[in-house]
Amino acid sequence: MTGTFGEENLMRLRTVLAASAASIALSAAAQADGYRIGITQNNVGVDSYQTTYEQAFIAAAEADDGIEAVVLDAGGDVARQIAQIEDLIQQEVDAIIIWPTNGEAVIPAVRKAKKAGIPVIVTNSNIAEQGFDFIASFSGPNNITQGARAAEIMCDKFKDMGIAGEAQVVHITGQPGYTTAIERAKGFEDRLPEICPDVTVLDTQPGDWNREKAQTVMEAFLTKYDDIDGVYAGDDNMGVGALNAARAAGRDGIVFVGATNFAVGYEAMERGDYWGSIYQSPVDDAEAALQTAIDVLDGKDVPLLNYFDTPKITQDNMGDFTKPVF
């Protein structure tokens, strides 16, 4: 069906060399213990998050004279990603960063890298647990925490509104089967009854990370339930789709909470239509991955699950955050 999109990305191989004239003289020492770090990304260009991530990664690598980065993109294709990992092993890079296209299928290739003595850092979305033995570290957001924080944002708002004893919520998840979608849903559904035991989750349906699909799902929810007080969507794209449906149906006063704050979500918050989200910056994500790789190579003690912080953002504190570029 959607199979092998991104043929235009055919093995984009970009070598980023930090070699400005000024730095050559200065960096003799840095070159001596400099690192070559390879990265194979999931699908650059398929969404703004991944596009921004790549730009930030290249910028961070260029800013560090001791780093030479080999930047690859799998175009969403598992087979291509495995081939890229094998290429990077052949090139004898010092470390490999992987944004998995599939959390299970890449494990044999990861194992091969470990056998070759090359540490592997997984970024953004983790590989399946049976692969944990072969990786040096996972650098990325904690999606269970994100789901739990979204539940807290929603519960706090219900308490402010004085409806925490009776509020009813619908839940729109990401694509079924995706780790990120599953973890966020779990975090939300586990945390909500702990803090707001009287809030009911009426229904849960997938919006597939797709704004249009989420809008259609929300339309059905609005038909089915006369009283909806809150919507939790697995990301802001879907949250805004649900918001569009509620506005078209003239249903006001619903508390919308999402995750991965997108520019559209931020704008809806500015307008007062959308209550809150989780701020996850692709720039932080990319820089954390590179830093984790450097720390591993420097021999520092790096936790296996090396999360970067993804704070709560609501209409109350959004002034502390810049508008997302994606």
Partner 1 sequence: MATLTKKDIGGFLARQGILLAFALFMIGFTLANGRFLDPDNVMGVIRSSAILGVMALGVTFVVISGNLDLSVGSMMSFSTIVVLDLHDKLGPALAIPAMFAMTLALGAFIGFLVGYLRLNSLIVTLGMLSAIHGLTLTWSGGKNMDIADKAGTWFDVFGRGEVLGIPVPILMFLLLAVTLGTALAKTPFGRKIYAVGGNGTAATFSGIPRARVVFSCYLVSAFCVATAGLLQASRSMGSQNTVGQGLELEVLAAVILGGASLMGGSGTIFKTVIGVLILGFIQNGLLLVGLPFYVQYVVTWVIIILAVWLDIAAKRGRLWSPIA
Q: Which residues bind partner 1 (CB under 8 A)?
A: 1-2, 4-9, 44-48, 50-51, 176, 203-206, 210-212, 215-217, 219-221, 223-224, 237, 240-241, 244, 248-249, 262-264, 267, 326
- CA atoms of 69 and 263, how far apart (whole Å): 29
Kindly list the strands in the beta sheet with 168-173, ordered across the sheet, starting from the edge strand earlier in the chain.
200-206, 168-173, 230-233, 255-257, 276-278, 312-314
* Least gap, CB of 83 to partner 1 (angstroms): 18
Name the residue nearer to partner 1 (CB basis): 59 or 220. Answer: 220
Q: What does the angle CA 239 – CA 245 – CA 248 come to, to the nearest 5 degrees? A: 140
* Least gap, CB of 245 to partner 1 (angstroms): 9
Q: Which residue has the tokens 């930030």?
A: 56
* Least gap, CB of 241 to partner 1 (angstroms): 7
* Least gap, CB of 96 to partner 1 (angstroms): 23
* Least gap, CB of 115 to partner 1 (angstroms): 35
* Least gap, CB of 206 to partner 1 (angstroms): 5
Helices (H), 135-275: 143-161, 179-195, 211-224, 236-248, 263-270
Name the residue nearer to partner 1 (CB basis): 278 or 296. Answer: 278
- CA atoms of 264 and 180, how far apart (whole Å): 20
Burial 70-85 (b: 16+ CB within 10 A, else e): bbbbbbbbbebbbbbb
Q: Would you give the DSSP letter of residue 15?
A: E
Name the residue nearer to partner 1 (CB basis): 54 or 68. Answer: 54
Handedness of CA 239, 241, 244, 249 (dihedral sign): negative
Q: Give the pairing type, strands 312-314 and 276-278.
A: antiparallel
Q: What are phi and psi of 13, to 5 degrees?
A: -110, 110
* Least gap, CB of 323 to partner 1 (angstroms): 12
* Least gap, CB of 48 to partner 1 (angstroms): 4
Name the residue nearer to partner 1 (CB basis): 102 or 215. Answer: 215
Name the residue nearer to partner 1 (CB basis): 11 or 29. Answer: 11
| Residue whose C-alpha is closest to residue 267's, from 326, 211, 212 | 326
**Residue 35, SS3?**
strand
CA 295 from centroid of its chain's CA atoms: 21
Helices (H) and strands (E) in the chain, counts: 11, 13
Residue 262's alpha-carbon distances to 13, 239, 296, in angstroms, are 29, 10, 31
Name the residue nearer to partner 1 (CB basis): 205 or 314. Answer: 205
**Residue 121, SS3?**
strand
284: Cβ contacts below 8 Å, ≥ 6 apart: 308, 309
Name the residue nearer to partner 1 (CB basis): 136 or 264. Answer: 264
Name the residue nearer to partner 1 (CB basis): 8 or 301. Answer: 8
Name the residue nearer to partner 1 (CB basis): 51 or 168. Answer: 51
* Least gap, CB of 258 to partner 1 (angstroms): 14
